A and B are shown apart, each in its own frame.
Chain A
């Protein structure tokens, strides 16, 4: 596989469930990101990891918990979510130490909280 792969593509979960989103990149990048895309709102940066360390947390509620075990994998652990958390969650990667590179995005996980 090449590029950025996200699993699952679709997820329905109850408000008391615990689930995880997975992202894997095969591009040799050293920075990974989680973005949230809600209806009628711009894409929002949630978390940034560079060299497996979290360098940005955009005031995201603690019910979202990221994990970056190595430079190729990124997880988003979810627990006690609210219906307003329903959205498309996009993972991206880039070469963090080079300015002339763009972010590559996965296809996203469509999350529905019921």
Chain B
């Protein structure tokens, strides 16, 4: 069985400061990892994904994440945040089979960017 743990439920940060949102996973099969963002009253939008290859993955809006197999982590980072980055961020692991891409989500981290 797969599981995802997002260690921080809320992360307050000042504008233009760097931020790291932590994610740890457990999986017994090949790992496909995702970060999604959810703005208020919206659905989820993909930020980035790790499927294979380079462990440093770059996504939209200046975000990046690093896959660390030994630490079973996939932390999300941004060197300088904006007010507009205020949202809920979800880490997810995929249990992909021929029937589809079933995602197991972490509990989410609310990023609050303050001026």
Contact = CB atoms under 8 A, between A and B. Distances in A.
B68 interface: no
Given A90-B44, A102-B34, A97 B98 contact: yes
A94 B101 contact: yes
Say whether chain B's binding surface is mostly helix, strand, loop, or mixed. strand
Nearest to A31: B100
Interface string A1-43: 0001010000000000000000000000001010000000111
Interface string A78-110: 000000000000101010110111111111101
Contacts of A97: 98
Interface string B45-77: 110010100000000000000000000000000
A43 B49 CA distance: 18
Nearest to B45: A105
A96 B44 contact: no
A74 interface: no
